[in-house]
């Protein structure tokens, strides 16, 4: 078809001849297709005549594109070219990626010689850790490079696909434009499109291939880096296992040997040189982090100290925070050191160990001098032991001196802990754990330290070093986490008392609850971090892998249903998270958000209740999904539950549906004064099953929701809270009724509680036995003010009648004596 059209485009011919030739070419090109259809129709004798006729009928030729469609295709081509050429500026990025790959390959060469097999085991472990850290850094860079270049290659392939799609029909578009007598400028633009597309395709292909070459190289090097990281981890685990089981002769049988002092000094000098080299090479980054963290920490601590200085309260939390912020300089130094360790790029193990030891020393000083911790001996001895432990790799090269140093370390720390514990200087201080549990931890640490001394003397060096390192690092980590928790708690305490926090209604009403919850959360996180760090300190990292595998592999079978323990734990976590989320959202809405909006109490309750129910339902759906429940397979169970509900739970469902109706229709709202039968009171709560009505005597009555929807309920405050008061009064028979009516109206109008509309009404309602009966009717704005307003009106009426000389008569009765037995003696004169 394309060849025929191209032949028609050749020599200049008249337009009518071109049209005839083009139509003939289309007919010739489609003839084989029509013939095959006819042959197929004739070969199928089982078909009806209608199907035969339909199949043998020739298809209509596709309509030629209009000039507008051709112009739109040209615009799409221009857009495609612009988008593709935007990606051509990747030369600098490819060059940078190539440099990173070269550096990674150099790291591969260095990695082969990074570990000295003749060095002591602890030295090899440290070298393997540094090697894995450096290789992992290069691997992360290459992983990012592969992602970026892969996305670019996919974009180039998409561009080529779009070019092929556009180029497919350009010959037809060009010839159609000529047949439709397109303007010369448009025709010239269309004639140039195929060549432009071909050139663009060649350039895109070249750049895609260049990116693919870099991608292939990066992927290959990345695979080698990952293999090195994996091998280093496996080799490190083997060395650690070997170190844990190192054994030598007992100390009393140790033979004198060369101490290896030169090696120990050389190793210590190499460690110090490694730390110095790292600090020099990263001086700008480390200095910037240290200065920024120190300045921000100092300003924060100084502001907290000034805030607490103006606070007149002297409760234990405030006093502890006041002591903690008493010296902002040292607190800021602690924050700066922590930030430097956290933000140190690709730091070697020796540097990290030195910084962590320095943090423990600063922490011990802060805890003793500022907070006033009484366990001075234990804290200082622990800091000294950790400083000595930093040089332990060099000391391990000394066969006899290293063992003696271990005994001295463990004995000194155990003795200090025992003395402070006996004097009550540890258990009675503020710590992560309760006093009794903290005392148990200290006693366990003392036992482990003494066990390390014993096994060292016996000759089990690996176990002795493991116990010593684990206990010292555990205690140091606990000390640091305790200080961090105290700092965070003090900052939260100060922030809750700031003017910004005090503008919150939640803080105003529940500051103590927020503070206690924050304290529990901080303590929980600190304890979790301490437990994790303790496992790492005792080289029990495999415990986490074992725990993960145990949780993943454990199954719970309930009948024919099998649930994994991980799914059950995830379900429980979702349920707990949903519970606390609902509580937090309810507190936020009812205390903070909704009172600030111009909503009625009923509308606020509906918003809060609806939000809580939606969150609860969403949490339950997520919990069921975590268990792997397929909702499409529980139709039978739902039907059975529906039958059970229809018979056994109809009252519960009735009350539940009634609660939903109450929330939806809002004929009864929280705060309304209602009367249900003989019960009158204020609605305090509308639940999904029942509602609470508080009577005027203070009793709270639980009313099923079905009673509120099926029985007659009088709502005194449904549309508004206006209330009419009826006050009956009687006057003597000699009083002027018109004057009494006017006086009653005047008294009602004089009271500010009485509404002017509807206006007060006074009426003469009848003749009583002893008085003329009148009634005063007035309206008040608030239902709750009815009793007070009635009392005030009666007092005012009594005073006005007294001033006007109108008598409120006593009841009068005439007594007729029909018969008397005996004589009646008149009373003696007074």
CATH, residue 765: 3.30.70.100
Residue 53 is predicted with a pLDDT of 41
Boundaries of domain holding 751: 723-804
Both 514 and 410 in one domain: the answer is yes
14 C-beta neighbours (distance < 10 Å), count: 8
Q: Which long-range contacts (CB under 8 A, 24 or more apart) does 753-762 make?
A: 753/780, 753/781, 753/785, 753/788, 753/789, 753/792, 754/778, 754/779, 754/780, 754/789, 754/793, 755/722, 755/779, 755/780, 755/781
**In this structure, are 565 and 439 located in the same domain?**
no
Whether 590 contacts 607, CB under 8 Å? no
Tokens (6 digits) for 715: 């709502």
SS3 of residue 753 by DSSP? coil
Q: What is the pLDDT of residue 217?
A: 87
d(CA 1, CA 175): 13
**Domain presence at residue 210:** yes
The pLDDT value given to residue 56: 43
Looking at residue 7, the DSSP 8-state letter turns out to be H
Beta strands of 362-453 (E only): which ranges?
A: none
Q: Are residues 377 and 300 in the same domain?
A: yes
In a domain, 251, yes or no: no
Which of 604, 629, 654 represents a domain boundary (last residue)? Answer: 629
Q: Which residues contact 55 (CB under 8 A, 6 or more apart)?
A: 37, 40, 41, 47
H or E stretch including 763? strand 761-767
Which pLDDT score, from 0 to 100, does residue 125 have?
A: 60
Residues 426 and 446 in one domain: yes
Does a cis peptide bond (omega within 30 degrees of 0) precede residue 758? yes
What does the pLDDT read at residue 820?
A: 63
Q: What share of the chain is helix, strand, coil (3-state, %, to 5)?
A: 70, 5, 25
Q: What is residue 12's predicted lDDT score, i.e. its pLDDT?
A: 41
Tens digits of per-residue pLDDT, 399-412? 677 788 888 989 99
Residues 659 and 565 in one domain: no
With 0.85 as the threshold, say if the pTM is over it: no
Residue 774, classed as helix, strand or coil, is: strand
Residue 311, classified by CB atoms within 10 Å of its CB into exposed (0-12), middle (13-18) or buried (19+), is middle
Give CA–CA dist 673/119, Å, rounded: 86
Mark whether 191 and 321 lie in a shared domain: no
Would residue 634 count as lying in a domain? no
In-domain check, residue 255: no
- Are both 395 and 433 inside the same structural domain? yes
Q: Which of 358, 468, 368, 480 is nearest to 413 (CA)?
A: 468
In the numeric block, which tokens belong to residue 349? 């193990």
In terms of domains, do 589 and 685 share one? Answer: no
Would residue 819 count as lying in a domain?
no
Domain membership of residue 360 (yes or no) is: yes
The residue count for the chain: 830
C-alpha dist (Å) from residue 757 to 306, 352, 744, 781? 57, 81, 16, 10
217: β partners? none
Do 231 and 288 lie in one domain? The reply is: no
- Residue 40: the pLDDT is 37
Hey, is 754 helix, strand or coil? strand
Report the alpha-carbon distance of residue 126 to residue 502 in Å, rounded: 51
Check whether residue 476 and residue 329 sit in a common domain: yes
176-186, pLDDT tens digit by residue?
888 888 888 88
Cα angle for residues 597, 602, 607 (degrees, 5° grid)? 65
Q: For residue 471, what pLDDT is reported?
A: 92
Which of 114, 77, 295 shows the shortest CA–CA distance to 201?
A: 77
Q: Tell me, what's the pLDDT at 42?
A: 39
The answer to whether residue 827 sits within a structural domain is no
Please tell me whether residues 85 and 103 are part of one structural domain.
Answer: yes
Closest C-alpha to 136, from 73, 54, 229: 229
Q: What is the side-by-side strand order in the sheet with 679-686?
A: 700-704, 690-695, 679-686, 673-676, 713-715
Q: Which residues of the chain have pLDDT under 70?
A: 1-62, 112-130, 236-248, 254-264, 266-267, 370-373, 393-399, 427-431, 541-554, 556-562, 600-602, 630-650, 652-653, 660, 663-665, 688, 819-830
* Number of separate domains in the chain: 6
What is the CA 498 to chain-centroid distance, rounded? Answer: 25
Residues 6+ apart with CB under 8 A from 133: 346, 347, 348, 349
- 274 and 180 housed in the same domain: no
Please check whether residue 820 lies inside any domain of the structure.
Answer: no
């Amino acid at each position: 078809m394309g060849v025929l059209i191209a032949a028609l485009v050749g020599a200049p011919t008249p337009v009518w001849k071109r049209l005839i030739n083009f139509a003939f070419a289309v007919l010739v090109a489609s003839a084989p297709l029509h013939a095959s259809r006819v042959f197929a129709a004739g070969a199928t004798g089982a078909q009806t005549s209608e199907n035969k006729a339909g199949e043998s009928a020739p298809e209509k030729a596709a309509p030629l594109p209009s000039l507008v469609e051709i112009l739109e295709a040209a615009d799409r081509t221009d857009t495609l070219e612009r988008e593709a050429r935007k990606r051509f500026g990747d030369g600098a990025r490819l060059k940078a990626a190539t440099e990173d790959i070269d550096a990674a390959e150099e790291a591969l060469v260095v990695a082969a010689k990074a570990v000295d097999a003749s060095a002591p085991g602890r030295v090899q472990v440290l070298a393997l850790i540094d090697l894995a850290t450096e290789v992992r850094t290069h691997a992360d860079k290459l992983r990012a490079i592969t992602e970026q270049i892969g996305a670019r290659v996919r974009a180039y392939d998409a561009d080529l696909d779009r070019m092929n799609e556009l180029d497919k029909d350009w010959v037809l578009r060009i010839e159609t434009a000529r047949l439709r007598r397109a303007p010369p400028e448009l025709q010239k633009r269309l004639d140039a499109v195929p060549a432009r597309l071909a050139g663009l395709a060649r350039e895109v292909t070249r750049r895609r291939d260049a990116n693919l070459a870099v991608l292939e190289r990066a992927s290959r090097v990345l695979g080698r880096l990952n293999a090195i990281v994996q091998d280093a981890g496996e080799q490190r685990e083997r060395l650690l296992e070997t170190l844990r089981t190192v054994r030598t002769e007992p100390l009393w049988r140790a033979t004198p040997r060369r101490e290896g002092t030169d090696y120990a000094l050389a190793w210590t000098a190499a460690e110090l040189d490694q730390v110095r080299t790292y600090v020099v090479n990263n001086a700008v980054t480390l200095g910037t982090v240290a200065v920024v963290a120190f300045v921000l920490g100092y300003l924060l601590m100084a502001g907290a100290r000034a805030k607490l200085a103006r606070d007149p309260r002297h409760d234990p939390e405030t006093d502890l925070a006041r002591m903690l912020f008493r010296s902002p300089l040292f607190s800021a130094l602690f924050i700066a050191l922590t930030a430097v360790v956290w933000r140190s790029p690709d730091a070697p193990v020796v540097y990290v160990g030195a910084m962590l030891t320095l943090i423990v020393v600063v922490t011990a000083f802060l805890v003793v001098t500022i907070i006033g911790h009484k366990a001075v001996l234990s804290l200082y001895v622990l800091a000294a032991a950790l400083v000595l432990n930093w040089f332990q790799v060099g000391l391990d090269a000394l066969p006899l001196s290293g063992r003696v140093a271990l005994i001295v370390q463990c004995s000194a720390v155990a003795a200090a802990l025992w003395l402070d514990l006996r004097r009550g200087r540890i258990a009675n201080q503020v710590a992560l754990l309760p006093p009794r549990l903290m005392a148990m931890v200290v006693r366990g640490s003392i036992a482990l330290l003494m066990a390390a001394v014993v096994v060292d003397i016996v000759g089990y060096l690996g176990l002795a070093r493991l116990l010593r390192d684990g206990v010292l690092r555990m205690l140091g980590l606990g000390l640091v986490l305790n200080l961090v928790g105290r700092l965070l708690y003090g900052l939260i305490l100060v922030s809750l008392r700031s003017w910004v926090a005090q503008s919150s209604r939640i803080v105003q009403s529940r500051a103590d609850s927020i503070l206690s919850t924050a304290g529990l959360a901080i303590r929980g996180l600190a304890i979790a971090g301490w437990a994790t760090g303790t496992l790492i300190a005792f080289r029990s990292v495999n415990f986490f892998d074992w725990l993960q595998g145990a949780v993943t592999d454990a199954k719970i079978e309930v009948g024919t249903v099998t649930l994994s323990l991980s799914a059950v734990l995830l379900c429980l976590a979702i349920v707990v998270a949903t519970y606390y989320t609902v509580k937090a959202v309810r507190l936020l809405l009812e205390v903070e958000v909704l009172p600030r909006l111009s909503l009625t109490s009923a509308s606020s309750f509906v918003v809060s209740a609806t939000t809580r129910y939606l969150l609860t339902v969403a949490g339950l759906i997520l919990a069921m999904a975590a268990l792997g429940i397929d909702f499409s397979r529980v139709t039978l169970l739902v039907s059975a539950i529906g039958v059970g509900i229809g018979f056994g739970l109809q009252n519960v469902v009735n009350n539940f549906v009634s609660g939903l109706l109450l929330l939806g229709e809002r004929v009864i709202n929280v705060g309304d004064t209602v009367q249900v039968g003989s019960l009158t009171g204020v609605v305090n709560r509308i639940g999904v099953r029942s509602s609470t009505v508080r009577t005027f005597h203070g009793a709270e009555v639980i009313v099923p929701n079905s009673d509120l929807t099926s029985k007659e309920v009088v709502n005194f405050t449904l549309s508004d809270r206006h209330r009419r008061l009826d006050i009956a009064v009687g006057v003597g028979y000699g009083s002027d009724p018109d004057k009494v009516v006017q006086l009653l109206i005047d008294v009602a109008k004089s009271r500010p509680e009485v509404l002017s509309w509807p206006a007060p009404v006074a009426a003469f309602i009848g003749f009583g036995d002893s008085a003329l009966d009148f009634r005063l009717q007035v309206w008040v704005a608030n239902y709750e003010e009815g009793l007070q307003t009635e009392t005030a009106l009666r007092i005012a009426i009594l005073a006005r009648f007294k001033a006007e000389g109108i008598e409120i008569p006593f009841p009068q009765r005439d007594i007729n004596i029909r018969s008397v037995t005996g004589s009646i003696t008149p009373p003696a004169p007074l």
